[in-house]
Structure 1
């Protein structure tokens, strides 16, 4: 004998609430519809489902046994409804985010943790890359958003961007570097120290070459290259080497007191840290919630970084 699962769910709702009217309200059905269902079910199984004359309604032993199966389906239905609602408002789902290594490790990872403190059912899949790889990932639907420094997007690129932080580079060094003792370090003095080269593919590599040319140098002593953010920081801490970094990345290390910025202005391109999305990508609620959180986090960071920058007496 096959029993309609919907009938078992209605039976479970009535048993759970103790009344047909209440059970119908729980399911969002009409009371008359639930009454007909219970009558049909009793006729089909040939046994009473409720003890006559009891209020609130009390199931017979057989009725309770059937209702137990309905409880399982009712609970599953409720979980499914909750899941749909949670996904609809962005409290569950998956966010695939790609970004440049230094920014992701120093700034974005912490914001991811903050986001999941209020959205624990959202999974974040993070990947690394520079602009060409991230653009390809967006277009291939391998990532939902990218967070990276960019110059200007080509018209018709199919991507939209929202700036979250203006770009500014600094020369990073250890907090005990000898040049920090000098009031105005000169370019010639900087060129006499070893340098850490940014990772291959990083826009910072071109910035380092531009810096070298602005100082009138033809070559620098590169002693270390290809390291991760922590690798570069640990190398700077233990040496007198210098490197080019975004000011925001150096700012993020301020509490560790391991690296700092030399008080000297350097040329840097018109570049900004931005959130990139495909124009035609479907707007998954969790992705939108995550992007909003990143933007909000950087609104606070922008003011803190600006204050930190103004606290340093930059050389002229």
Structure 2
């Protein structure tokens, strides 16, 4: 004998609440419709499902056994409804992000943890890459959004970006670096020290070369290259080497009191940190929620960094 699952769910609701009216209200159905269902179900099985004359309604052993199957279906239905509603409001789902290593490690990873404190059912999958790789990953639908430095998009790229932080590089060093003892360190002083090269493919590498050429360097004294953010920081802490970093990355390390920025102004890159998305692919609610959270986080960070910059006397 095959049963209509909806009939078993209605039976379960009535058993659960102790009344036809209450069971109908639980399911959002009309009471007469549920009464007809119970009557049809009793005729189908040929046995009573409730003990006659008992209030609240009490199921017979057969009615209770059938209701137990309906309760499983009712619970599954409720879970499915809750899941859909959670997804619809961005409380569950998957966020696939890609970004440049230094920014992801220094700034985005912490925001991911903060976001999941209020969205614990959202999973975040993170990938590393620079603009060409991230652009390809977006177009191949391997990631939902990218967070990376960018200057301008080609016409017809099918992508759009929202700036979240203006570009600004600084020369980073350890907090006990000899240059910090100078009252007014000059750009020429930077050439007396070895350098850490940013990872290959990083826009920072081109920025470093352009910076040292503008200072009159004929060769670059590279002593360490290709490391992650953590390895670069650990190297800086133990040596008098210098490197170039986005000011926001150095600022994010301020509580560790291990590295800092030399108070020497250097040219700003013609780029901004931005959220990059496809124009032809609507974002899921969870991705929309995450992108908004990142924008809000960087809005606060931008004000903190600006206040810090205004407090520093930057040399020329």
Contact between 2:186 and 2:315, CA under 8 Å: does it hold in 1?
no
Deviates more, 1:26-35 or 1:172-181: 26-35
Deviates more, 1:38-47 or 1:140-149: 38-47
Contact between 1:161 and 1:277, CA under 8 Å: does it hold in 2?
yes
- Count of aligned pairs between the two proteins: 316
Q: Please report how far the alpha carbon of residue 294 of structure 1 lies from its aligned counterpart in structure 2 after TM superposition.
A: 0.2
Q: Please report how far the alpha carbon of residue 78 of structure 1 lies from its aligned counterpart in structure 2 after TM superposition.
A: 0.2
CA distance, structure 1, for counterparts of residue 272 and residue 134 of structure 2: 16
Contact between 1:18 and 1:58, CA under 8 Å: does it hold in 2?
yes
Q: Please report how far the alpha carbon of residue 253 of structure 1 lies from its aligned counterpart in structure 2 after TM superposition.
A: 0.4
CA distance, structure 2, for counterparts of residue 140 and residue 203 of structure 1: 23
> Which structure 2 segments of 5+ residues have no match?
none
- CA offset digits 1:91-125 (Å, max 9, x no partner): 00000000000000000000000000000000000
CA distance, structure 2, for counterparts of residue 119 and residue 14 of structure 1: 35
* Structure 1 match to 2:230: 230
- CA offset digits 1:4-32 (Å, max 9, x no partner): 11111000001111111111121122211
* Structure 2 match to 1:106: 106
* Structure 2 match to 1:63: 63
Q: Please report how far the alpha carbon of residue 268 of structure 1 lies from its aligned counterpart in structure 2 after TM superposition.
A: 2.6
Contact between 1:248 and 1:305, CA under 8 Å: does it hold in 2?
yes
* Structure 2 match to 1:291: 291
- CA offset digits 1:130-183 (Å, max 9, x no partner): 000000000000000000010111121111110000110000000000000012
- CA offset digits 1:210-265 (Å, max 9, x no partner): 10111011112100000000000000000000000000000000000010000001
* Structure 1 match to 2:151: 151
Q: Does 1:27 align with 2:27?
A: yes
CA distance, structure 2, for counterparts of residue 184 and residue 203 of structure 1: 28
CA distance, structure 2, for counterparts of residue 85 and residue 6 of structure 1: 21
Q: Please report how far the alpha carbon of residue 282 of structure 1 lies from its aligned counterpart in structure 2 after TM superposition.
A: 2.1
CA distance, structure 2, for counterparts of residue 260 and residue 283 of structure 1: 37
CA distance, structure 2, for counterparts of residue 180 and residue 288 of structure 1: 43
CA distance, structure 1, for counterparts of residue 282 and residue 48 of structure 2: 52
Q: Please report how far the alpha carbon of residue 283 of structure 1 lies from its aligned counterpart in structure 2 after TM superposition.
A: 2.1
* Structure 2 match to 1:179: 179
RMSD of aligned Cα (Å) = 0.8
- In the TM superposition, 1:1-316 aligns within 5 A as 1-316=1-316
Deviates more, 1:111-120 or 1:2-11: 2-11
Q: Please report how far the alpha carbon of residue 187 of structure 1 lies from its aligned counterpart in structure 2 after TM superposition.
A: 2.3
Contact between 1:214 and 1:267, CA under 8 Å: does it hold in 2?
no
CA distance, structure 2, for counterparts of residue 184 and residue 256 of structure 1: 25
Deviates more, 1:154-163 or 1:234-243: 154-163
Instruction: Compute the TM-score of the two structures, normalised by the length of structure 1.
Output: 0.99
> Which structure 1 segments of 5+ residues have no match?
none
CA distance, structure 2, for counterparts of residue 176 and residue 63 of structure 1: 79
Partner of 1:313, secondary structure, is coil
